[in-house]
């Protein structure tokens, strides 16, 4: 990816915050979604939003699946930009929401987490079963770690479900990401932002399931490590935050991936230390690494004020569609 950040947005923090708040997201219409509610194997539910204001060009056109980041949704800036990319190219497009992220809290005694590869696998298998054409998937931040964790776990079987996968700005070393977001400016701005939505949802979960965790300790949590140690880890079968980060991180499993996979991380991402990123010798021949110098965390604005965030979806989407010969035929036809 030959990305160069605009001169008027210096540094990873500005390249993260400005695109999320002020940059343009689409060239066409804002995406309109049709929602499906799925019953999960454990009798809970999750919501899937399908792009509805653009019909696929062909019945067997590719389906692009997007897994959002921490506290994200189909209305996140990157999700709307990917939806615009899909609409422009006549693709089907779906955003499965992690539990509790679609505007309504899920019912079960759990939420979602960075290494939920079983949930990813179930979602993708269901999408594969109901879509005629090829399926490709991209995960952003938390969603990208979970997607890569699944791809590594699935190995050669992943090819029966999707043709290619990509992660964007994902903290594939969760311990390093937790340390980075818990310091200085990151702690003051990003940690505060996330906890502002995560704590009330957790407390509502406690009202659903009294005794599930220590509510007083959770409300006193000052960073994401403490939140994960009290809430995320024990609710999802981990001993503590350290055990969660070690077992859920995708980085140790990238060498097991056996389908085309793209791992994109900006070197100035405030959430993901460059030193924690894997080298080519750690990932295997199926994985492509993109390491642009700029872009921030899921930013990548172009140089035209107020900026546009389609640059990254265009390049990642094109990589996915060209990853296999069958994809290339669709792209040429489109």
> Do β-strands 33-39 and 45-51 pair in parallel, antiparallel, or remain unpaired?
antiparallel
Contacts of residue 44, defined as CB under 8 A and 6 or more positions apart, other chains included, come to: 99, 106, 107, 108, 110
pLDDT given at position 324: 53
Catalytic residue, from 84, 297, 308, 314: name it: 297
Pair 151, 118 in one domain:
yes
Say whether pLDDT at 154 is over 90.
yes
Pair 188, 307 in one domain:
no
d(CA 232, CA 223): 13
Tell me if residue 269 is catalytic: yes
For residues 223-248, average pLDDT: 98
Judge whether 18 lies within some domain.
yes
Count: domains in the chain: 2
pLDDT given at position 325: 63
Judge whether 270 lies within some domain.
yes
Pair 154, 88 in one domain:
yes
Judge whether 206 lies within some domain.
yes
Pair 123, 268 in one domain:
yes
Condensed to tens digits (0 to 9), the pLDDT of residues 106-137 reads 999 999 999 999 999 999 999 999 999 999 99
Closest CA to 77 of 313, 332, 321: 313
Judge whether 43 lies within some domain.
yes
Tell me if residue 297 is catalytic: yes
Pair 217, 113 in one domain:
no
Catalytic residue, from 84, 269, 302, 314: name it: 269
Split at pLDDT 50, 70, 90, the class of 333 is very low
Say whether pLDDT at 168 is over 70.
yes
Contacts of residue 220, defined as CB under 8 A and 6 or more positions apart, other chains included, come to: 226
| CATH number, position 69 | 3.40.50.1820
Look at residues 248, 272, 303 and tell me which one is the last residue of a structural domain. 248
pLDDT given at position 68: 98
Condensed to tens digits (0 to 9), the pLDDT of residues 253-300 reads 999 999 999 999 999 999 999 999 999 999 989 999 999 999 999 999
Pair 244, 299 in one domain:
no
Judge whether 108 lies within some domain.
yes
Q: For residue 245, what are its two tokens? A: 């980060």
d(CA 62, CA 135): 6
Say whether pLDDT at 326 is over 80.
no
Judge whether 3 lies within some domain.
no
8-state DSSP, 53: S
Look at residues 248, 264, 294 and tell me which one is the last residue of a structural domain. 248
Pair 42, 182 in one domain:
no
Pair 202, 165 in one domain:
no
Domain carrying residue 163? 12-173+249-333
The helix, strand and coil proportions of the chain, stated in percent and rounded to the nearest 5, come to 45, 15, 45
Catalytic residue, from 114, 141, 178, 323: name it: 141
Pair 144, 231 in one domain:
no
Pair 190, 327 in one domain:
no
Say whether pLDDT at 76 is over 50.
yes
Pair 219, 266 in one domain:
no
Tell me if residue 77 is catalytic: no
Judge whether 5 lies within some domain.
no
Judge whether 4 lies within some domain.
no
Say whether pLDDT at 329 is over 60.
no
d(CA 113, CA 108): 14
pLDDT given at position 58: 75
Pair 80, 216 in one domain:
no
Look at residues 231, 248, 265 and tell me which one is the last residue of a structural domain. 248
DSSP readout, 252-314? GGGGG--S-EEEE--TT-SSS-GGGSPPGGGT-TTEEEE--S--TTTT---SSTT-BS-HHHH
d(CA 313, CA 272): 19
């Amino acid at each position: 990816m030959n990305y160069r950040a605009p001169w008027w947005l210096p540094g990873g923090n500005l390249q993260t915050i400005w695109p999320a708040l002020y940059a343009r997201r689409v060239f066409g219409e804002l995406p309109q979604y049709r929602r499906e509610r799925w019953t999960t194997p454990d009798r809970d539910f999750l919501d899937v939003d399908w792009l509805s204001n653009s019909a696929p060009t062909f019945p067997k056109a590719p389906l692009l699946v997007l897994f959002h980041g921490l506290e994200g949704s189909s209305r996140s800036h990157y999700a709307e930009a990917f939806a615009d990319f899909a609409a422009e190219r006549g693709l089907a497009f779906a955003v499965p929401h992690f539990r509790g992220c679609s505007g309504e809290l899920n019912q079960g005694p759990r939420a979602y987490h960075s290494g939920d590869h079983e949930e990813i696998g179930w979602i993708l298998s269901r999408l594969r079963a109901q879509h005629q054409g090829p399926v490709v998937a991209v995960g952003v931040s938390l969603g990208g770690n979970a997607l890569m964790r699944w791809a590594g776990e699935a190995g050669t079987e992943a090819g029966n479900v999707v043709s290619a996968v990509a992660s964007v700005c994902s903290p594939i070393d969760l311990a390093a990401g937790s340390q980075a977001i818990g310091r200085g400016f990151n702690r003051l701005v990003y940690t505060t932002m996330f906890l502002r939505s995560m704590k009330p949802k957790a407390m509502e979960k406690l009202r659903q399931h009294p005794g599930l965790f220590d509510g007083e300790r959770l409300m006193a949590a000052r960073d994401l490590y403490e939140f994960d140690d009290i809430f995320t880890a024990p609710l999802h079968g981990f001993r503590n935050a350290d055990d969660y980060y070690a077992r859920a991180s995708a980085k140790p499993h990238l060498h097991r991936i056996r389908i085309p996979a793209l791992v994109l991380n900006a070197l100035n991402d405030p959430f993901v230390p460059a030193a924690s990123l894997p080298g080519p010798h750690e990932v295997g021949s199926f994985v492509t690494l993109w390491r642009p110098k700029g872009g921030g965390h899921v930013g990548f604005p172009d140089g035209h004020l107020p900026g546009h965030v389609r640059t990254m979806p265009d390049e990642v989407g094109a990589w996915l569609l060209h990853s296999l010969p069958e994809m290339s035929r669709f792209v040429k036809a489109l």
